[in-house]
Amino acid sequence: MELPETFMEKMGQLLGKEAADFFRSYEEPRASGLRLNPAKISETEWHAHNPFQLEKIPFASGYYFDEEKDKPGKHPYHAAGLYYIQEPSAMFIAGQLGLEKGDKVLDLCAAPGGKSTQIASGIGENGFLLANEIHPKRARALSENIERLGFSNTVVTNETPEKLSRHFENYFDKILVDAPCSGEGMFRKDPEAARLWSQEHVEACAAKQRAILEHAWKMLKPGGTLFYSTCTFSPEENEQTIEAFLARHEDMALVPIPHEHGVGPGKPEWTTEKRKDLSNTARLWPHRLKGEGHFAAKMRKHPGEAGQTAPPEKTTKLSKQQEKDWTTFAENTLQHFDPGRRSFFLYKNELFLLPFNCPQLKGLRLVRCGLHLGAFKKNRFEPNHALALSLKAGQCKHRTDLGAGSSECIRYLKGETLPGTKENRGWVLITVDGFPLGWSKEAGGILKNFYPKGLRIV
């Protein structure tokens, strides 16, 4: 591929003897990756169902697949949220966060959602993830991916880092800043990024990244972890940005990231102060491993006074009719479904189940607030697609299972009506090989299709 001349000169000077191998990597096909969703399927279960030819990624918890042989994005298992298609090097980032069950985590620049879904899985049902994206269209795509993978512990917002920092001071256990960048590491995937590249753009990105980090620092509680990553090579956006941040915040210290399986150290020599601890950061190079270019830095805030405990979001009191409609639906359709200590949240006629210990969200632009249960219609409750994808098959009283390779499964994904029984079972969960795919409603011997129109295959 054609690379910007100034970029080639710059990287040639930085890499020296390695530059030839680095530039040669741009002529090789890019790697494609697939990461399982452990909230829906275990490795053991996957090996019993796997329809693809996969190869384990040595530096991340995922698999390579061959785009020439397999199309996992078009398989019904993708619609069921069993996996997320993700660039292999990107999988490395969230895997280094050191997530624990019950963590409160902020993914500040979260779209399209690969890292957010990895985080949501790692913190468990009692954790809380705030996945934020400043661009409205990308925020909707982020929300759709959270929905497809079935997570109920996540709130999606469309806010500026500045506004969030006023709302969540010293609050989060862990924060990921996967910063907007010049995208040099993605030139193979996105040739348009190469066409738009300039040194001025690099410097503008670096200024924006430093501002974002300042807001992230305000939201990190004492003892918390701040993880910074980019998909670019420029020192200005990587080591130099971290050096400047650490100079301003003596309460932050770098935590070593493992350098193995082709993952290399950061480059202190590419900075002004050349502080040695910058070698604790990590660089993923396309000529050293099978993946695109990334940079990562893990920092910890010194312990101090306890972080803030934000007031919880208040539960919505349903009207008697709404309570009756929800209870009727739940009793007729669901089993072993326990909201526990989680709160209902009603927006207009849409009912959500908030994440456990969800903080107050008033004043924020919300895209998704936990699990979208459904909507109150005239004297009835209609379940949302998100509820179907959050369930295990055994949590629904009535279901119809389809084989992944069956014509019925394809018909369902196209939005077509399917044959039912004469039992008039009402809401029926459609599953593919036992994994929830969406809703149907049975009446008169047919299953009316409720698969969302925007997701249907054509």
Whole-structure pTM value = 0.96
Please report how many Cα atoms fall inside a 13 Å half-sphere around the Cα of residue 452, on the Cβ side. 16
Taking residues 368-390, what's their average pLDDT? 97
Residues making up the annotated binding site for S-adenosyl-L-methionine are 109-115, 133, 178
Taking residues 369-380, what's their average pLDDT? 96
Residue 453 in domain? yes
Closest listed residue to residue 177, CA positions, set 132, 144, 137: 132
pLDDT of residue 307: 60
Asked whether 371 and 390 are in contact (CB, 8 A), the reply is yes
pLDDT of residue 338: 86
Asked whether 334 and 396 are in contact (CB, 8 A), the reply is yes
- % of residues, the chain, pLDDT over 70: 99
| 89-126 confidence digits (pLDDT tens) | 999 999 999 999 999 999 999 999 999 999 999 999 99
Q: How confident is the model at residue 315 (pLDDT cuts 50, 70, 90)?
A: confident
Residue 272 in domain? no
CA dist., res. 367 & res. 142, Å (int)? 9
Residue 411 in domain? yes
Residue 306 in this model has a pLDDT that exceeds 70:
no
Residue 74 in this model has a pLDDT that exceeds 80:
yes
Taking residues 283-291, what's their average pLDDT? 98
Taking residues 29-52, what's their average pLDDT? 97
Residue 122 in domain? no
Q: What 3-state DSSP class applies to 418?
A: strand
Catalytic residue among 231, 358, 369, 409: 231
| 327-366 confidence digits (pLDDT tens) | 999 999 999 998 878 899 999 999 999 999 999 999 999 9
231 among known catalytic residues: yes
Helix (H) or strand (E) holding 79: helix 76-79
The CATH number that applies at residue 441 is 2.30.130.60
How many distinct structural domains can be found in the chain?
1
Q: Where are the beta strands (DSSP E) in 328-370?
A: 344-347, 350-353, 366-369
CA dihedral 262, 265, 266, 272 (to 10 degrees): -140
Residue 84 in this model has a pLDDT that exceeds 70:
yes
Beta strand 32-36 pairing with 83-85: antiparallel
Residue 444 in domain? yes
If you search the block for the tokens 């829906």, which residue do you land on?
Answer: 40
Residues making up the annotated binding site are 109-115, 133, 178
Taking residues 217-223, what's their average pLDDT? 98
CA dist., res. 110 & res. 156, Å (int)? 9
Taking residues 242-265, what's their average pLDDT? 98
Q: How confident is the model at residue 268 (pLDDT cuts 50, 70, 90)?
A: very high
pLDDT of residue 458: 85
**Structural domain containing residue 434:** 396-458
pLDDT of residue 314: 82
* 57 CA to centre of own chain: 19
Residue 452 in domain? yes
Residue 242 in domain? no
Residue 8 in domain? no
Please report how many Cα atoms fall inside a 13 Å half-sphere around the Cα of residue 38, on the Cβ side. 11
The DSSP annotation for 257-304 comes to: PP--TT-EE--GGGSSS--GGGGGSEEE-TTTSSS--EEEEEEEEPP-
Residue 309 in this model has a pLDDT that exceeds 80:
no
Mean pLDDT of the chain: 96
